[in-house]
């Protein structure tokens, strides 16, 4: 009851303020959060060599600064991605920079990597001591002289305290960042990161997160380079700059669209990647997940694991456990024993 009132209140105030209240609620656990990560043996899985209690992760951007890391496993998430983190702290773009479109269950954000910087954030990661599976989304500073070096700096500084890192070349809110998805730039970046990672005392799995706007040729390049430079996997996708996805509510000309309207385009990209890589590269499916059925579909399209963000703002933290229960029931209903049996089995249906 209290949670429902709280959610209603948060949905009617400024989205960024609502987000900060929700995050601090989780941080200080003002009300005890039930340990909801019920044990679903069918949902246990492995992602790039990492064991996960379930395949549902918290997507990057929700806890950019790692202030509430402890809470997410309690909500039921199988893994958490913090960030995006840049070497230097930065304020991000001017406010307002987050908008919800309730009728579409969508969000448009133009944050621009507001974060406390790698030194402060790494101290928080260190304190958490990898108690559950933790990834870090790495970005570049807006005024950076070398964005390539920004990626390697954060990787080197934080790698000891995380299980994996995500190279974010797909946020639409930092000028020039998406250019790293072009063939030559991507080759140079991945080559440098591969080298940097190999030279760490303990190399970690590296993922690349791509945008939903890549065409078939660009996806082919991403797959080839991911294989050549031994990435652990690909995350598909970041937010979209296709404002037709929220057509009737137009007026947006910047920022990234997330939430329900992103489900179809991001799942299509996921399936294309699964086909192109012949299922050999682990994929994380993200974009528009709101239910257990959505997770089932992402996995059938080729995902080994999934993430969500926007749906939390519309349905609240209880959603995590609802999704896990539903997913478990769907697997049981179809007679599947575990997640691995369904990865990519319907990939041709989504392209």
Catalytic residue numbers read 171
Site for ligand FMN in 159-198 (CB under 6 A): 168, 171
Q: Does 262 bind ligand FMN (CB under 6 A)?
A: yes
Please identify which residue in 258, 267, 272, 277 interacts with ligand FMN, judged by CB under 6 A: 258
Q: Note the helical H segments in the chain.
A: 2-10, 15-28, 71-75, 118-128, 147-158, 183-198, 216-228, 263-276, 292-301, 310-315, 318-334
Q: Does 286 bind ligand FMN (CB under 6 A)?
A: yes
Sign of the torsion angle spanned by Cα atoms 329, 333, 334, 337? positive
Nearer to ligand FMN, 205 or 259 (CB): 259
Q: Does 259 bind ligand FMN (CB under 6 A)?
A: yes
Q: Does 225 bind ligand FMN (CB under 6 A)?
A: no
For residue 201, the minimal CB distance to ligand FMN (Å) is 26
**SS3 labels along 89-107:** CECCCCCCCEEEEHHHCEE
Contact 256, 239 (CB under 8 A): yes
**Residue 227-246 contact track with ligand FMN, rule CB under 6 A, x = bound:** -----------xx-------
Please identify which residue in 45, 109, 159, 267 interacts with ligand FMN, judged by CB under 6 A: 109
Options 57-65, 179-187, 315-323, 328-336: segment touching ligand FMN (CB under 6 A): 57-65
Question: How would DSSP label each residue in 297-310?
Answer: HHHHHT-SEEEE-H
CA distance 99 to 102: 9
Please identify which residue in 53, 112, 135, 288 interacts with ligand FMN, judged by CB under 6 A: 288
How do the residues of the chain divide into helix, strand and coil, expressed in percent and rounded to 5? 45, 15, 40
**CB half-sphere exposure, 176, CA atoms < 13 A:** 10
Options 47-55, 104-112, 124-132, 271-279: segment touching ligand FMN (CB under 6 A): 104-112
For residue 110, the minimal CB distance to ligand FMN (Å) is 9
CA distance 251 to 144: 30
Binding positions for ligand FMN, rule: CB under 6 A: 59-61, 64, 83-84, 98, 107, 109, 111, 137, 168, 171, 209, 238-239, 258-259, 262, 286-289, 308-311
């Amino acid at each position: 009851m209290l949670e429902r009132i709280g959610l209603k209140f948060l949905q009617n105030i400024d989205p960024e303020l609502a987000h900060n209240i929700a995050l601090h609620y989780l941080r200080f656990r003002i009300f005890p959060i039930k340990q909801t990560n019920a044990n679903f043996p069918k949902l246990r899985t492995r992602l790039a060599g990492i064991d996960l209690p379930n395949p549902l992760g918290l997507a990057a951007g929700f806890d950019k600064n790692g202030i509430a890391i402890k809470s997410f496993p309690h909500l039921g998430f199988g893994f958490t991605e913090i960030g995006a983190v840049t070497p230097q702290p930065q304020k991000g773009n001017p406010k307002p920079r987050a908008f919800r479109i309730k009728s579409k269950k969508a969000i448009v954000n133009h944050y621009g990597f507001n974060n406390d910087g790698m030194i402060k954030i790494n101290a928080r990661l260190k304190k958490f001591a990898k108690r559950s599976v933790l990834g870090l989304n790495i970005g570049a500073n807006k005024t950076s002289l070398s964005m390539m070096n920004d990626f390697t700096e954060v990787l080197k500084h934080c790698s000891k305290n995380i299980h994996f890192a995500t190279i974010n070349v797909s946020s639409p809110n930092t000028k020039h960042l998406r250019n790293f998805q072009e063939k030559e730039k991507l080759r140079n970046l991945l080559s440098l990161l591969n080298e940097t990672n190999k030279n760490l005392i303990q190399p970690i799995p590296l993922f690349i997160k791509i945008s939903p706007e890549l065409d078939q040729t660009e996806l082919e390049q991403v797959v080839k380079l991911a294989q050549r430079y031994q990435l652990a996997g690909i995350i598909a996708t970041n937010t979209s700059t296709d404002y037709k996805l929220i057509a009737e509510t137009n007026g947006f000309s910047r920022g990234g669209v997330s939430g329900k309207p992103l489900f179809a385009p991001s799942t299509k990209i996921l399936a294309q990647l699964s086909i192109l890589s012949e299922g050999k590269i682990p994929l994380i499916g993200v974009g528009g997940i709101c239910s257990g059925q959505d997770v089932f579909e992402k996995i059938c399209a080729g995902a080994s694991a999934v993430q969500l963000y926007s749906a939390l703002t519309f349905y609240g933290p209880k959603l995590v456990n609802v999704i896990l229960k539903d997913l478990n029931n769907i697997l049981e209903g179809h007679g599947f024993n575990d997640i691995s049996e369904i990865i990519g089995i319907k990939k041709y249906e989504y392209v």
